[in-house]
Amino acid sequence: MFTAYIEAVKLISIYKCLCDETRLRILNLLSVSPLCVCHIQEVLAKSQVIVSQHLAYLRDHGMVDSQRHQNWMFYSIPASPSQELEKNLKCLQDCVTTEPVFLKDREKLKKLLGNRTVQTLLDEVGCCGPSKKKTRSAVQKINQKK
């Protein structure tokens, strides 16, 4: 009985995370690649504070992992998600093909990253530097060279 209670609490926690559109959009992006807050912020057109609050909520509930790289925090889907989380993320991936907001977010992310990984972009142009405009223009220049 105690095990069933714990599993129910985990499931409730997952659904609390999934009941917000911004968090669903973030999970959609993270299913493509680990990302820095600035990448998510750019795609969602939300403030750094809002994005960071949602990421903290997801992290606190075990929905995402975080890792520091120099001055930046990167977020990703856990390498070994719980069975409940994994099933719900698969459901989210099914929605990606039919929901315009998810498709648009993925298109924006592809435009931002191009064919490069986040690590490659970091190595070439940095991330979330003192001038975000410089980072954006550097990423645009990289994408134009292709």
Is CATH 1.10.10.10 what the domain over 2-112 is classified as, yes or no?
A: yes
Kindly report, residue by residue over 58-92, the tens digit of the pLDDT. Answer: 999 888 999 887 777 889 999 988 887 888 888 88
Kindly report, residue by residue over 28-58, the tens digit of the pLDDT. Answer: 999 998 999 989 999 999 999 999 999 999 9
C-beta pairs of 92-98 under 8 Å, 24+ apart in sequence = 92/18, 92/24, 92/27, 92/28, 92/31, 93/31, 96/28
What percentage of the chain has pLDDT greater than the value 90?
A: 37
Q: Return the higher-pLDDT residue of 144 and 10.
A: 10
pLDDT of 17 above 90: no
